Structure 1
Amino acid sequence: MVPEAGESPTEPGRPVWVLNPLESVGPLRFGMSADEVRAALPGVFELKSFSAEPFYPDVYGLQLGFHPAVPAVYMYFNRADQLFSVAADASHGPRVTLEGLELTGRVPAVLEDTIFDLYSSPVRGVSYGPRGNPGINDIGMVLRVQDTASGVLTRPVLVGREWADRCTDDWEGSIPECEWLGRQWRTYEGSDVWPRPDTRRTGRRGGLPRSRRRPCEIYANRPHKADLFAEAHADVITEGMQAIADALTLA
C-alpha cells in the first residue's frame, strides 16, 4: 500500500499484523499471559511496565518497541494476567490490517470514510464514544488519533471477545483510561486534547482546590467517568498514563 499524503511511511522492521477480530492480532492472542506475549515476540524490546487504569490498580500495561527506546505497541493485562487490549503506535507500531484495510498511521478522515463504507450494516455498525472516538463494538476496535511528525494519524486500539462489550464507550467499556488521554478524534468541550491543558500536570493542577474536591464515589453511574474523575481527582493520572498522553500530544 502506498501511503496517502500525510500518512505514516513504512519503516524498516515494522511488521504487518492481521487483525482476527476479537481473537488475535498478529502473533498475539487475547487472553495470553505476559510471559506468553514475550515468547510470541522474540527480539522485541520491553521498554516499560506501567499502571494503566486508576480505577483498577491491577490493570497494567507493557510498552514494547521494535527498536530500542522507540515505543511501538502497548499491551494491557487484567488482574488475571490476561492480555485484553492492544494499541499500535501511529508512527512506529505494527501495521494492523482488517480484511486488507490498514488501520495504523492513516489520515483520520480518510479512514473514517472507508470504515463507514465497509461497515455500515446494523451488525457491524460504527458507533462513537462520549468524546467522539469511532469504533465497532462487534469487532472490538476503537480508532484513536495521535500527533506525529506527519500530522495527526490513526492509532487502533483493539480488545478481545470477553472485553468488547461497549468498548467504544470510555465510561462503560474496558479500554484502560490511559488510552483515552491525549489527542481526541474530535473537539470535545472546547478542546481536542484530554486532559485539557488547564488540568494537566504542571506542578499545580487547575480546577477546584483539593479541600473542595468531591470523592470519586459521587460519580458512580454517571456519564463521562474519565472527565468527571479527572476534574475532581487529577492526581490519579499516573506517570505512565501521563507519558502516554504526552506521546499522543506533541503540543
Structure 2
Amino acid sequence: MLAVLGHRLELQVPVLVRAAVGAGLLLVVCSAACRPGRSALLRPALSVVTGRVLIMFMGWWHVRPDEERVQWALEPFAAVGPLRFGMGADEVTQALLGVTGDSEHRTWVGGRGNNTWRVSEGRCREFGLHLYYRDGRLSGIAVDALRGPQVTADGTALVGRVPSALEQWMCERAETRPDELAYMSAGVPSSKSLGVVINVQREGDHLLTRPVFYPAEALDDLPHWLPQRAWQIHD
C-alpha cells in the first residue's frame, strides 16, 4: 500500500499523532535536524504512508522570524553588518566568529600552474549567507530569505519580504533619485544607490526577497560581476 499526501499541510503533531494511532499506524517523525534550516511543513512529494508506517518530514521551508534573526545594517557599497567588501576569507571568518558558530564552507579555484589557490565562494548554510569572492576578496553577499540575518537600509528590512512590497518601496525612493532603479534580466529590481539586487527565493508556493549586495565596482557590469546563478530564483 502506498498513499501520497496530495496537498500542503500545517504540521500539527498532536493531531497527526491521534490520527495515526486511530488508524493503527506507526508514526515516525524526522525533525528539522534531518534537513537543517527548512520548515515544519509536510512536503507532498516526500510525505508518504508506506505500509503501516507514516513518515513525516519536518524542516522544509521554515521562515525564521525577524526576532530570531541577527540584525545587520547596510552601509551601501562598503559593508553588510560586520562583513566589508574587500575582506579576505580569513577576515570574513574572524568577523563572523562573534555572530554565528556556523562555519563557512568554501569553494576554491586556481592552483596547478602557479600553485596559488583562491576562495571563489563561501556558504554559511545554517546562518543563511552565500559569499562571493573575486581574486580572493569579498565581492558579493547574498542573504538567505528563510533564515539569513535581517539587513536594513534606511530603516527598511530587506530580507524575507514580499517582493512586490519591497519593489514599491524602491520605486518610491527612485522618485527623488535619477537613474536609481534598474532591472536584471530575471525582472528583479536593483538599487544603484544602495548597492543591492532584490533577488527572490521560494518559500513553499510563495516568493520572498533574497537580497544580493555588491561593491561600487560592480556597477560597471553588474550582470557579469557574479556567477549567473547568483541572480537566479533560489529554492
Shorter-chain-normalised TM-score: which range? Answer: 0.5 to 0.7
Are the equivalent residues in 2 in contact too, given 1:76–1:86 (CA < 8 A)?
A: yes
Residue 47 of structure 1 deviates from its aligned partner by: 4.7
Q: Which runs of 4+ in 1 moved over 4 A?
A: none
**Structure-1 residue corresponding to 2:185:** 130
Residue 60 of structure 1 deviates from its aligned partner by: 1.3
- Percent identity, please: 32
Residue 83 of structure 1 deviates from its aligned partner by: 0.5
Structure 2: how far apart are the matches of 1:71 and 1:150? Answer: 23
Aligned partner (choices 68, 71, 90) of residue 35 of structure 1: 90
Please tell me the residue identity of whatever aligns with 2:139: F
**Structure-2 residue corresponding to 1:107:** 162
- What's the C-alpha RMSD, in Å, of the aligned pairs? 2.5
Larger RCO (alpha carbons 8 Å, 6+ apart): 1
**What's the TM-score, normalizing by structure 2?**
0.63
CA gap 1:39/1:150 in 2 versus in 1, 3 angstroms: farther
Q: Does 1:178 align with 2:234?
A: no
**Structure-2 residue corresponding to 1:221:** none
**Structure-1 residue corresponding to 2:103:** 46
Q: Which structure has the larger Rg?
A: 2
Please tell me the residue identity of whatever aligns with 2:106: S
Q: Aligned ranges for residues 1-251 of structure 1 at < 5 Å?
A: 8-10=63-65, 13-42=68-97, 43-50=100-107, 60-65=120-125, 70=126, 72-79=128-135, 81-123=136-178, 125-149=180-204, 151-167=206-222, 170=223, 173-181=224-232, 183=233, 248-249=234-235
Residue 50 of structure 1 deviates from its aligned partner by: 2.9
Structure 1: how far apart are the matches of 2:184 and 2:63? Answer: 25
Unaligned residue ranges in structure 1 (runs of 5+):
1-6, 184-247
Structure 1 or 2: more strand by fraction: 2
CA gap 1:11/1:127 in 2 versus in 1, 3 angstroms: closer
Q: Over residues 178-213 of structure 1, what are the superposed CA-to-partner deviations in whole Å (9 max), with x where a residue is unaligned?
A: 2123x2xxxxxxxxxxxxxxxxxxxxxxxxxxxxxx
SS in 2 for 1:139: coil
CA gap 1:51/1:179 in 2 versus in 1, 3 angstroms: farther
**What's the TM-score, normalizing by structure 1?**
0.59
**Structure-1 residue corresponding to 2:51:** none
